[in-house]
Structure 1
Amino acid sequence: MSGFNNYGGGRGGGGGGRGGGRTREDRKAGRRAAQVAKENKKAEDEARYFFQQVRALGGRKPPQKMKSQAELFGTQGTAGINFKQYDDIKVSRSGTDCNATPSLDNYAALSGVLPQYLHTNLTDVTRMSYSSPTPIQKHCVPLALSGRDVMAAAQTGSGKTVAFLVPLLTSIHRLGFQAKQMPPNSTPCLPSALILAPTRELAMQIELEAQKLTFQSPVICACVYGGANARNQLQECAAGPDIIVATPGRLTDFLERDLINLSYTRFLVLDEADRMLDMGFEPQLRRIVQNSTLSKDRQTLMFSATFAENVQRVAQAYLKNDYIFVSVGRVGSTTSSISQTIVEVAPNACDKRSKLNIVLQLNLLNVEERTIVFTQKKHVASWLKQQLKKALNVTCEDIHGDRSQSQREAALAKFRSGRCQVLVATDVAARGLDVDGIEHVIQFDLPPSKEEFDSYVHRIGRTGRAGNTGRATALFVPGYEPKTGNGGLAGPLITLLKESKQPVPEFLLSGGGGGGRGAGQRNPKQPLRDVRGEQQQQQQYKHGQQQNMQQQQQQGGYGGNNFGGPQSTHLNLGGGRGGGGRGGGGHNSNNFNNNNNNNNGEGRGRGGGRGRGGGRGRGGGGGRDRGGGRGRGGGRGRGGGRGGY
């Protein structure tokens, strides 16, 4: 009988055994306590290892950081860059005394300003081979060298990384490497400069560019990011790096453990700031920038491909009040330098095997070209890599969220070095991936909705970078079938093709599934607007000549009650993500009357949207907003009436 009355649990009689009479909550608490103890032990071991490495390295570069010129630069060069294309790109500045600092015409003019190693690495034809600065560099480099805080909007591939690394390295040179002068045996890492990026891939890309610019110099750069073994990164930090490139999560962890201290940091860069805020990193950013030891007496630069107006407002908290706003029109990803081809796929034959057959039958993938193929799903990326290997006998790698960080790094290294010709990727690689000489981008799967159309632009932006030529091919499935139809993209796609002077396929024009509703991206060559309003002094540049910027249209807007300047416009006829906004201009709904249906911008449109505003006066935007996506301002009643947030 005893065998049937073992209520105490486990495998023994009446309360012995594994259960021991403990409740489920007790067992869960025990497991949690064991996990916490394990994590604490790991943290203690890592801290002990860090200070051992501090004593061992003593300010010397770790061996893995000592790369040869061939490893760093390879076939580096600017051959094929279409510099003439830059002549048509408009750049605007705004802010106090924004035009007191002239733009930079060529890097030869900085030969006596930059450290010698930096000028050599930047301009030597066997290294980075820069002679003429890109538009963003023409303005941001001299502004930053003059000591101003800068918020800059320019697309990926326009030279943003060099635009902030050149003044950053010059600033470190002027500081005299203060971090390395600290006692080495017991102090945390004390960098002179900090660069924050939203993703591991972008952080590693920035570090690579920094290594190129600091070649044969005493400057040390470390890269800190999550998803990888912390010990390797701690070894880099133990060398006393002058620059740390980091993602917010891992950096916050090291700061809280006092392995990194920002007391000596005098230069801060936030790259792709909009994405960091979109990804929910704002709490970590505030802890890093406002609540850590980071000095208020610092210079801050913020860069992004887009700076929606609500993002600008949040970003202002990290900058001095007199910062300069620089906005650059697009070059490359929406111009004729990229040949775009849209291939129709029948709705009844749009599975992955049918799409692969189209790619093979039409010879869309040339094995002689360096190509990135984008898919929407991770398992499709893995499958497609294997199929392309078999069908074309081509070296092929894949990167996506199911691959470990080391696997992703190895795949990217093979692709960069030329040992791999084709890279299959999900959107994890769409932003921040900068590989020289990508000739072709194929979108095996298009983004699933109009609200995600920006992904199309970011994907094709992997080719044609910095004015180089390239081509992009997309497989388009007409109609609105859930998970397969691309009809919602037809409108913005038509607009983009026309703006880029690309042929528009007849099947798109004749009802490819979206008509023209919601088209209207911002004019790619027009700069974004400074949210502080038009009372600031502004200037536009074209063909290297200064021209007066015309006043923006003054309709509706956020209302000057909260955001500077009377009736600041947000008509936003080509708006990226803009328009409407999350705020409103105080509680006076009359400020929003003129907004109805004026946010014609494609994207996710934070103004307008599907709007409950307009009619109900809860945030403007009104109507369905002819191009604004789902909208956060006006849209669902999150804007307006909230006192201008």
Structure 2
Amino acid sequence: MGFSSLGLASGLVQALAGQGYQEPTPVQQAAIPMILSGKDIMAGAQTGTGKTAAFALPILQLLSKNKTSRDESAGEENIPSPGALVLTPTRELAQQVHASFEKYGSGLALDSRLAYGGVSINPQVEAFKAGIDILVATPGRLLDHLAKGSLTLSQLQFLVFDEADRMLDMGFIDDIKRILKRLPEQRQTMLFSATFDAATVGLSKKLLNQPEMIQVDEANTAAAQVEQIVYTVDPERKRELISHVIGSKNWQQVLIFTRSRQSADLLAAEMSKDGVKTQAIHGDKSQGAREKALAEFKSGQTRALVATDVASRGLDIRQLQYVINYELPFNPEDYVHRIGRSGRAGNAGLAISLVSTEEEHLLAEIEAVLGQALPQQWLPGYEPDLTREIKTGKKMTRSGQKRRAKQRAGGGRNRRR
């Protein structure tokens, strides 16, 4: 099945072919015809499966058809108003989505604009004046523009929530409610996310009108092409293990996750001392510093990039193969997002998680979400200290006790060498 069979215009199909895209992904096959027919949708699919194109392509086609009539119906105040609004939780994801709109719509007379915080608002205001058909924005900065009067949403026809679950996790619900008050009731709304929890489903009921549900993969499942390995290791030896694995296997592009910004900075500094050039990316970094670190990672100047969950949203590195969880996330759904950074676009990926005694309960929660057990292994030379519980006085969880008993009984034979 080609893109032309989905109802896309020949110009868009030719543009996709010129960029090497011949066959639509499952989420694109399901979503594009529904959006073109005017339906609200709630779509879930793993990262790297083409969610952005699934909404960008039909929106571009529909906007290009009615651009003239929309311009003629603009308000007398002549305040810029987009025809389509895409809300994202992070600046990086906003940049990625905006780039996709510009790439797919390069042959169309449509203006796509960006609005996110951390940078001066004035250049964004000036860009809006030059024309704005599509706006990709973070919630906070969009509200800044609405308050400033630099744009209105009166002409909005299409609303997209990208990574809706992450927006809720990051506490954007109040901002979202404020934005909804500014929207016209007559609009087409799309909600896209890699995972759906109760809060996301609850939000969808307020946003969507008789939506079509699209679930390409079973909710909250890890991408099948990503191999998952769990190493049991003492916390103080995690950094040493990571540097050893990267160095001994000559890995050149590795994305590492921590739970906090402080851990990210410390780990990056210590790994650099080990001879592995590493940088950290998180919310405390300036936009310029984050963009520079990401560019150097993509180009190969930096061998490893340490990121927090918030900063990782929007990282689109198509050939990324290796992801390491230095610390397991408190939110088990974040594990799915993390390992989904590898194995994108059908490529193989490898996700390694380092688990200490104190994190056994977090692993159990992840396994419950995945619906499968992730057998723990020992890496030769980095076996955990089995007497550590006595030394530290920290009692192991029941699930951890069961796992440790199996490892003792097996004499480490279940280890991957």
Compute the TM-score of the two structures, normalised by the length of structure 2: 0.82
Aligned-pair CA distance for 1:453: 2.0
Letter in 1 for 2:195: T
Paired position in structure 1 for 2:377: 505
Partner secondary structure for residue 515 of structure 1: helix
Partner secondary structure for residue 486 of structure 1: helix
> Structure 1: how far apart are the matches of 2:51 and 2:303?
26
Letter in 2 for 1:270: F
Paired position in structure 2 for 1:314: 203
Match of 1:469 among 348, 355, 359: 348
Match of 1:261 among 152, 160, 168: 152
RMSD over aligned CA atoms reads 3.2
Letter in 2 for 1:304: S
Paired position in structure 2 for 1:372: 255
Letter in 1 for 2:212: I
The 8 Å contact of residues 332 and 464 in structure 1, kept in 2 or not, is answered as: no
Q: Does 1:295 align with 2:177?
A: no
Q: Does 1:326 align with 2:326?
A: no
The 8 Å contact of residues 220 and 240 in structure 1, kept in 2 or not, is answered as: yes
- Aligned positions of 1:542-561 closer than 5 A: none
Q: Does 1:244 align with 2:117?
A: no
Identity in percent? 36
> Structure 2: how far apart are the matches of 1:463 and 1:160?
16
Paired position in structure 1 for 2:389: none
Q: Does 1:398 align with 2:280?
A: yes
Paired position in structure 2 for 1:4: none
Q: Which has the higher contact order (CA 8 A, sep 6+)?
A: 2
Aligned-pair CA distance for 1:180: 5.6
Aligned-pair CA distance for 1:459: 1.1
Aligned-pair CA distance for 1:367: 4.6
Q: What stretches of structure 2 of length at least 5 have no aligned partner?
A: 387-394, 402-417
**What's the CA shift string for 1:320-365, capped at 9, x where partnerless?**
2x3212222159972441122222213xxx23xx322222334467
> Structure 2: how far apart are the matches of 1:241 and 1:470?
38
- Aligned positions of 1:242-641 closer than 5 A: 242-289=133-180, 291-292=181-182, 294-320=183-209, 322-330=210-218, 334-346=222-234, 350-351=235-236, 354-363=237-246, 366-392=249-275, 394=277, 396-447=278-329, 449=330, 452-478=331-357, 485-492=358-365, 499=372, 504-505=376-377, 513-515=397-399
> Structure 2: how far apart are the matches of 1:277 and 1:456?
17
- Aligned positions of 1:17-28 closer than 5 A: none
Q: Does 1:166 align with 2:166?
A: no
Aligned-pair CA distance for 1:139: 0.8
Paired position in structure 2 for 1:113: 8
Q: Does 1:122 align with 2:122?
A: no
Letter in 2 for 1:303: F
Q: Does 1:134 align with 2:25?
A: yes
Distance 1:416 1:231, change over 3 A: farther
Letter in 2 for 1:316: K
Aligned-pair CA distance for 1:440: 0.3
**What's the CA shift string for 1:169-222, capped at 9, x where partnerless?**
111111135566689997222211111112222212211221221224322211
Partner secondary structure for residue 399 of structure 2: coil
Distance 1:282 1:372, change over 3 A: same
Partner secondary structure for residue 423 of structure 1: strand
> Structure 2: how far apart are the matches of 1:306 and 1:177?
37
Distance 1:183 1:316, change over 3 A: closer
Aligned residue pairs: how many?
Answer: 388
Distance 1:273 1:359, change over 3 A: closer
Partner secondary structure for residue 176 of structure 1: helix
Letter in 2 for 1:375: T
Letter in 2 for 1:340: Q
Aligned-pair CA distance for 1:379: 2.7
The structure number with the bigger radius of gyration is 1
> Structure 2: how far apart are the matches of 1:219 and 1:514?
58
Structure 1, 431-440 or 182-191: larger mean CA deviation: 182-191
Distance 1:279 1:393, change over 3 A: closer
> Structure 2: how far apart are the matches of 1:138 and 1:204?
25
> Structure 2: how far apart are the matches of 1:115 and 1:123?
10
> Structure 2: how far apart are the matches of 1:173 and 1:206?
18
The 8 Å contact of residues 220 and 369 in structure 2, kept in 1 or not, is answered as: no
Aligned-pair CA distance for 1:247: 1.2
Distance 1:307 1:333, change over 3 A: closer
Paired position in structure 1 for 2:412: none
Paired position in structure 2 for 1:5: none
Letter in 2 for 1:415: F
Which of the pair is proportionally richer in helix? 2
Partner secondary structure for residue 352 of structure 2: strand
- Aligned positions of 1:80-95 closer than 5 A: none
Letter in 1 for 2:174: P
Compute the TM-score of the two structures, normalised by the length of structure 1: 0.55
Letter in 1 for 2:114: C
The 8 Å contact of residues 195 and 220 in structure 2, kept in 1 or not, is answered as: no
